[in-house]
């Protein structure tokens, strides 16, 4: 049986991200610095004439991706080992937008990602935010960025149980931002006019744990050693303030040093592992000024600041068992398109 085509076809996209400084500590109210990347998630919504929601993941343009249905859940599995239950974020976004606007209409949703899903590049936030934007627009509403980011965060919290507003903010605004939770559901986003031409190399290894589990791991460590862990978190906050200043001044040597210190603190929080450490040290040995985990850890992505020897750093990461990815930085935040660009 075919499905009914809605009239309002909207294409929206949102970028992935790398966290430069402050992951995990951001959950405890410390600031984080985060930057969008050039790879995006595209979500197309078409309103239907009935009350059904149909979700299609088409042409993910990723090597080694398999998409399977288990019950009514769509599981996306990649070469990078991680599965992403994309449906939960898409459905969550439709429900949360419907509640917010007080309207529900059936919809066909198509999703495509240019990034490896679940590798720590903020794909779930990008899916949530692009869906919030496309569906609200299809219903005839022009939401402000602030509203889109907040609804995207609600989606992440409803699916994961726990999340900071970091990923949903950067995928909404794009560029480089500083995010800080202020308590309760309040948070602030500062858009920084920093250069987005940072010479960063991204490497990744298979993920062994989910973001939610890593956040819980840090919480558990905090409950057993509150005196130590709360101070590590505070030091990360001090480091982020210093990194913001350094980023604005464009002092790459110092920025690299701060990345290495941040990595040491993340290691102390227990979110690194041998495979990540291998990549991090390989990058440094090959001449990177600094390197660290980006995102939740437990596998996933690392970033290396390599102004002089990007290729050498990439090769070193690959020789230590990682994959590398090339992308521009500072991608535009969530946006609506007149047609879907054929990029990869």
| Subset of residues 199 to 218 that bind ligand MEV, contact rule: CB under 6 A | 211, 215
Residue positions counted in the chain: 344
3 state SS of 308: coil
Binding segment for ligand MEV among 143-151, 159-167, 187-195, 240-248 (CB under 6 A)?
A: 159-167
Residue 298 in the binding site for ligand MEV (CB under 6 A): no
Binds ligand MEV (CB under 6 A): choice among 20, 166, 293, 313: 166
Residue 163 in the binding site for ligand MEV (CB under 6 A): yes
Residue 269 in the binding site for ligand MEV (CB under 6 A): no
CA distance 86 to 55: 10
| Nearest residue (CB) to ligand MEV, 215 versus 288 | 215
Residue 301 in the binding site for ligand MEV (CB under 6 A): no
Residue 154 in the binding site for ligand MEV (CB under 6 A): no
CB of 255 to ligand MEV, least distance (A): 20
Q: CB nearest ligand MEV: which residue?
A: 164
Binding segment for ligand MEV among 19-27, 41-49, 221-229, 311-319 (CB under 6 A)?
A: 19-27
Residue 303 in the binding site for ligand MEV (CB under 6 A): no
Alpha-carbon distances of 51 from 104, 130, 136, 278, 314, rounded to whole Å: 8, 21, 16, 51, 49
At 71, phi and psi to the nearest 5?
60, -130
List the structure tokens of 336: 């609506």
Binding segment for ligand MEV among 65-73, 161-169, 193-201, 333-341 (CB under 6 A)?
A: 161-169
| Biggest alpha carbon–alpha carbon distance for the chain | 61
Active site members? 167
Binds ligand MEV (CB under 6 A): choice among 154, 167, 206, 244: 167
Q: Supply the angle between the helices 274-285 and 252-268 in degrees, to the nearest 10.
A: 160
At 13, phi and psi to the nearest 5?
-140, 160
Residue 53 in the binding site for ligand MEV (CB under 6 A): no
Binds ligand MEV (CB under 6 A): choice among 12, 14, 26, 305: 26
List the structure tokens of 342: 């054929």
CB within 8 A of 290, min separation 6: which ones?
Answer: 255, 256, 257, 258, 259, 260, 263, 284, 304, 305
List the structure tokens of 152: 């995207």
How many CB atoms neighbour CB 43 within 10 A? 32
3 state SS of 151: helix
| Nearest residue (CB) to ligand MEV, 110 versus 204 | 204
Question: Which residues bind to ligand MEV, rule: CB under 6 A?
Answer: 19, 23-24, 26-27, 163-164, 166-167, 211, 215, 295-296
């Amino acid at each position: 049986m075919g499905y009914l085509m809605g009239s309002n076809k909207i294409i929206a996209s949102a970028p992935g991200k790398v966290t430069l400084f402050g992951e995990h500590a951001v959950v405890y109210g410390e600031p984080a610095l985060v930057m969008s990347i050039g790879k995006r998630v595209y979500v197309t919504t078409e309103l239907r004439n009935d009350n059904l929601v149909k979700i299609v993941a088409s042409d993910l343009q990723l090597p080694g991706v398999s998409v399977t249905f288990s019950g009514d859940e769509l599981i996306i599995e990649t070469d990078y080992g991680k599965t992403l239950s994309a449906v939960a974020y898409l459905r969550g976004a439709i429900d949360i937008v419907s509640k917010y606007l007080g309207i529900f209409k059936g919809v066909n949703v198509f999703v495509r990602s240019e990034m490896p899903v679940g590798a720590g590049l903020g794909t779930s936030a990008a899916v949530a935010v692009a869906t919030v934007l496309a569906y609200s627009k299809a219903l005839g509403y022009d939401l402000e960025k602030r509203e889109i980011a907040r609804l995207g965060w609600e989606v992440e919290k409803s699916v994961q149980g726990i999340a900071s507003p970091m990923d949903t903010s950067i995928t909404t605004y794009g560029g480089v931002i500083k995010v800080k939770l202020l308590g309760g559901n309040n948070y602030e986003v500062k858009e920084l006019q920093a250069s987005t031409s940072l010479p960063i190399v991204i490497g990744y290894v298979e993920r062994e744990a989910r973001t939610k589990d890593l956040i819980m791991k840090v919480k558990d460590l905090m409950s057993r050693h509150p005196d130590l862990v709360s101070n590590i978190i505070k030091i990360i906050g001090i480091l982020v303030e210093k990194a913001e200043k350094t980023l604005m001044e464009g002092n790459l040597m110092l920025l690299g040093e701060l990345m290495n210190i941040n990595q040491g603190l993340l290691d102390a929080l227990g979110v690194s592992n041998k495979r990540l450490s291998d990549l991090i040290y390989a990058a440094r040995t090959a001449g990177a000024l600094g390197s660290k985990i980006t995102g939740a850890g437990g596998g996933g992505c690392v970033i290396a600041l390599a102004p002089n020897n990007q290729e050498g750093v990439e090769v070193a990461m690959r020789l230590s068992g990682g994959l590398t990815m090339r992308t521009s930085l500072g991608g535009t935040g969530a946006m609506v398109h007149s047609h879907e660009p054929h990029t990869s």
